[in-house]
Structure 1
């Protein structure tokens, strides 16, 4: 048995090619034709159009705004680094902000105590915020911090600003991070906070940060929209 040299072209891929031709004549923010109108125009089923639109959505070519579909701008390219997302985006001329979801006071269970190098039952501060770039909600971040390191954080910290800048103000210096990146889908609450469809692909970044004395600084869970974000990293040979 041999593989065909010419892969099979699926119907929705043909439709996608036609949709890309439409996109070539549109600019960011322009409304995109409705699924029903596209199906009639191309004489295909709405399911075929839906598959093609889904691929364009995943690639960040279009985006949902309420019940409308519009042409999307370029994906935000975020370098993988220890630094602040807010500061990096602003250096590239983007308008960024944070929307407070809420503060919580937790007590450490066995897993969290191990990650933050504290005792079971010790107090933990949880900060949850939505990140916006150019007024678009692009990420949801939940940070858990050992309370003993950050007295009066809730009162002192301006939640629309960089948490990493607050760390520096308090004399905390990063030594290293351990990052894990996976793909996932948002749950209903996360999708609502990010104003996206529950089928929108996400990058899930879990980060455990340490200072120069190898003491944990934070345990962070960040959910980034896969249709609006891309991550980059520069690597060098030995």
Structure 2
């Protein structure tokens, strides 16, 4: 049996290739043609056209702004490392800040207590923030820290700045981190906070950070838009 090494392109993939060529001559922020006009120009159904558009959205080539679609800026490429993503973005010449969603204090359940090496029921401070670059909401971060580890954090910390920098000023020396990354879809609340729809692909990063003595500092859950973010990691031999 002979295996065909050149599989037949589906109709929406042919359209996608044509749209990629169209985008090469456009700039970020330029309005993208309507679905009706594109379907007519390529002589395909609206459903076929929407499949191609969907791929462009996921790839971060275009983005929705209300009822309009525009050419997207290049994805934000950030290092997967210990440190502030806000600071890393600014080093690349992008504006970046955090929007406060809220502070809360609650009792650790058994799972969180095990991660943070604290007793079940011990108080935990939670900080939830939206991460923005160039005025676009790209990430939702939820950080949980044992309350007795960082006393007075809620009263004194400026949520717009780097939490890691704040912890270092309090004498904490960072050691290893354990990261797990998977792809997910946002729930309705997360989608609303990031101003996207619930079909937008996301990177979910769960991190436990330790100090130089091996004691857990924080548990962090970070949700990043897959259409706007790319991460890099440097690994040694």
TM over 0.5, shorter chain: yes
TM alignment of 1:8-87, pairs within 5 A: 8-87=8-87
Tell me the C-alpha RMSD between the 2 structures. 1.0
Q: Offset of 1:21 from its aligned partner?
A: 2.0
Give the Cα–Cα distance (whole angstroms) in 2 for the partners of residues 236 and 144 of structure 1: 30
Task: Please name the residue that 1:221 is paired with.
Answer: 221
Task: Please name the residue that 1:172 is paired with.
Answer: 172
Give the Cα–Cα distance (whole angstroms) in 2 for the partners of residues 50 and 165 of structure 1: 44
TM alignment of 1:1-238, pairs within 5 A: 1-237=1-237
Q: Offset of 1:5 from its aligned partner?
A: 2.3
Q: 3-state DSSP class of the match of 2:130?
A: strand
Give the Cα–Cα distance (whole angstroms) in 2 for the partners of residues 6 and 120 of structure 1: 57
Give the Cα–Cα distance (whole angstroms) in 1 for the partners of residues 231 and 155 of structure 2: 33
Give the Cα–Cα distance (whole angstroms) in 1 for the partners of residues 191 and 14 of structure 2: 30
Give the Cα–Cα distance (whole angstroms) in 2 for the partners of residues 35 and 200 of structure 1: 19
Q: TM-score, normalised by structure 1?
A: 0.97
Q: 3-state DSSP class of the match of 2:210?
A: strand
Q: Provide the aligned length of Structure 1 versus Structure 2.
A: 237
Q: Offset of 1:171 from its aligned partner?
A: 1.0
Task: Give CA-to-partner distance per residue, 1:37-67, whole Å, 9 cap, x none.
Answer: 2112211111111110111111111111122
Structure 2: stretches of 5+ with no match in the other structure: none
Q: Offset of 1:83 from its aligned partner?
A: 1.4
155-164 or 87-96, which deviates more: 87-96
86-95 or 144-153, which deviates more: 86-95
Give the Cα–Cα distance (whole angstroms) in 2 for the partners of residues 216 and 89 of structure 1: 26
Q: 3-state DSSP class of the match of 1:14?
A: helix
Q: TM-score, normalised by structure 2?
A: 0.97
Q: Offset of 1:88 from its aligned partner?
A: 1.2
